[in-house]
Amino acid sequence: MTDTAPGSKSPIQTRYSLGDIPKLSAAAEVTANASLNAIAALPLGERSFDNTVVAFDRVMTDYADAVCPLVLMGNVYPDAKVAAEGMACEESAAIFDTRVYTRRDLYDVLRAQTPRTPGESRLYEVTIRAFEKNGLKLSEDRLAKVREMKTTLSGLETRYSANLNNDTTTLVFPADELEGIPPASSRATFSKTAEGSYLVTTKYPDYLAVMTYAERDETRRRMYGGAYNNRQADVNTALLEEAIVLRQKIAGGSWDMPHGPTTG
């Protein structure tokens, strides 16, 4: 089902059934890959800046337009199973980007083009830099290692985000500790205990209300230092450490993958 915002040119899909997001994500990849393959297969004499560099940028923009709403559902969709599909789409999109920007056939076609205007020069520089940051100046065996490590990194980043999104940390505040928070708006959204205290989550609306309006320093301190900045610390710290090691290896040219099982 789609909802159209006033003044928008195209409908924005906001409701999904289980299984919709993976299908839409896969379809976006198929469409993009077909167009990218066509660019890479252009005969030498038929290549131009427009049908290579500009066309590549259009393909990647169209792909992003297709999958970004799906990724967003991972953070906002009320059905946990559909939201999980959105989080999985985030990982698959990151892996797709890695695969695209490690394609030597595309890189060779795009790099051979000559910009004609300052705007085209900027587009060319950004595009080629993206490929080269992903290892296209390396030998094939080293490029394969970079591709492997970046794919692993995408999984770590997605799990890190999913852990934050699924966090259920809740603080209990007596009413007097929430002085300053508008009772008719923000405070009215908080759940309450049987004793009348308020249950405040670390989700952004609750967090913002406390940090913006709460008059007591200790209330803000409990939210900011004790809860919000420690969400999922037990599992995400290990993921972050592993991701840092991977990023260092990718940036520094150390091609051995981490030993042992991936942190669970």
| CATH code for the domain of 9 | 1.20.1050.40
Whether 159 maps to a domain, the answer reads no
pLDDT tens for 178-223 read 999 998 788 899 999 999 999 999 988 899 999 999 999 999 999 9
Residues of the chain with pLDDT under 70: 1-11, 253-264
pLDDT at 251: 83
Same domain, 34 and 107: yes
Within the chain, residue ranges assigned H as helices are: 20-40, 55-76, 80-100, 104-111, 118-133, 140-165, 204-213, 217-221, 233-252
Q: At what angle do helices 20-40 and 80-100 cross, to 10 degrees?
A: 10
Could you list the residue range(s) of the whole structural domain that residue 16 is in? 2-137
CA dist., res. 74 & res. 82, Å (int): 7
Same domain, 180 and 122: no
Same domain, 73 and 193: no
pLDDT at 2: 46
How far from the centroid of its chain's Cα atoms is residue 178's Cα? 34
Same domain, 103 and 182: no
Same domain, 11 and 64: yes
Residue 98 near residue 83, CB atoms below 8 Å: no
pLDDT at 183: 87
Sequence-separated (6 or more) residues with CB below 8 Å from residue 264 = none
Same domain, 132 and 209: no
- Cα-atom radius of gyration of the chain, to the nearest Å? 23
pLDDT at 1: 43
Sequence-separated (6 or more) residues with CB below 8 Å from residue 187 = 178, 181, 198, 209
**Whole-structure pTM value:** 0.77
